[in-house]
Amino acid sequence: MIDDRPVLDDHLHLDPDNNRGIDAVRDFARVGGTHLLVVNKPSWHLGVEAETGADFREVFERTIDIVEAASSELEGRAWPVLGVHPGLISRLVDERGFAPDEACDLMQAGIDVAAEYVESGDALALKSGRPHYEVDDDVWAASNDVMRRAFDHGAALECAVQLHAEASEDMTEVADWAEAAGMEPHRVVKHYASGRLEGPTPSVMSDKDRLETAAERGEPFLMETDYIDDPDRPGAVLGPKTVPRRVRWLLENGYDEAIEIAHVETPKAVYGIDTEATLERDG
């Protein structure tokens, strides 16, 4: 807690294999972090080369297990966000000989399984998206179809969908697809966002420039680090202490209202979670 306030990191990964992940949670908690949304690592990073939707279960269950361990380290709690990393399509098409429509089928099946965990209450939200890099048109179309499957589940389950997508400050078209599927568009969250975004709710990478932009804007936003997303891109993500440290910095600079938006109001509006009621306050 910082000044009795909850502090949420909206998107990070924990490594279930060697439990460095739990050390990261302790670091986060030590400097005032209270709540985490933990996104499963890309399946192939965990050594899972999925051939059916059911093959993703192992990835999801290992994530759920480590989230339970994380919760016991926090004054608040952690929740799992489960899905299929959009970069999987390139791995399937370029390295495993899948046609784009076959890759789409497998990835949709993985999303379907993730949705089962949301339905049973074992996960909070879904994760989907599309490649953040250039791909062929048919791969792009297949990726959009996977994302739209996630929106179908988001509508049916009334849950949020986090997106990994290209760098952009206007994703109104994607938010419109979510709305057409029956979702409330603010429940679509673009992870790794800059400080402003049209369409989905931005989950802002917690560097000072982006946060200042988001705080000045006064619109709903979340804060994240994307800790250990991609071991091939060291330095592309922020460390686990970053969100609490930036909350202190924002408070020092008078952005109290933005802190309330990012750590209480937006989590409630997007995920239906109460970061205040889930805090163990002393006395």
Site for Zn ion in 221-240 (CB under 5 A): 226, 229
Q: Which of residues 15 and 229 has its CB atom nearest to Zn ion in the complex?
A: 229
Q: Which of residues 155 and 228 has its CB atom nearest to Zn ion in the complex?
A: 228
**Taking the alpha carbons of 105, 14, 118, 69 in that order, is the dihedral positive or negative?**
positive
Report residue 257 as tokens.
Answer: 């209202």
Shortest reach from residue 250's CB to Zn ion, in Å: 22
- Which stretch in 18-26, 61-69, 108-116, 220-228 sits in contact with Zn ion by CB under 5 A? 220-228
Q: Residue length, the chain?
A: 283
Task: Tell me which residue of 209, 205, 222, 212 sits closest to 261, measured CA to CA.
Answer: 222
Shortest reach from residue 15's CB to Zn ion, in Å: 12
CB neighbours of 44 closer than 8 A, spacing ≥ 6?
88, 91
Determine the residue with CB nearest Zn ion. 229
- Which stretch in 53-61, 83-91, 135-143, 218-226 sits in contact with Zn ion by CB under 5 A? 218-226
Shortest reach from residue 3's CB to Zn ion, in Å: 28
**Taking the alpha carbons of 71, 119, 201, 229 in that order, is the dihedral positive or negative?**
positive
For 8, 235, 248, 266, the CA distances from 76, given in Å and listed in that order, are 9, 28, 18, 16
Q: Which of residues 85 and 246 has its CB atom nearest to Zn ion in the complex?
A: 85
Q: Which of residues 73 and 229 has its CB atom nearest to Zn ion in the complex?
A: 229
Shortest reach from residue 237's CB to Zn ion, in Å: 8
Q: Which amino acid, residue 262?
A: A
15 binds Zn ion per the rule CB under 5 A: no
E strands in 125-275: 125-129, 161-164, 188-193, 201-205, 222-224
Q: Which of residues 218 and 231 has its CB atom nearest to Zn ion in the complex?
A: 231
Shortest reach from residue 226's CB to Zn ion, in Å: 4
Size of the site for Zn ion (CB under 5 A): 2
Shortest reach from residue 127's CB to Zn ion, in Å: 8
CA distance 203 to 225: 9
Task: Tell me which residue of 281, 232, 279 sits closest to 34, measured CA to CA.
Answer: 279
Report residue 221 as tokens.
Answer: 């936003």
Q: Which of residues 38 and 261 has its CB atom nearest to Zn ion in the complex?
A: 38
- Which residues contact Zn ion by CB under 5 A? 226, 229
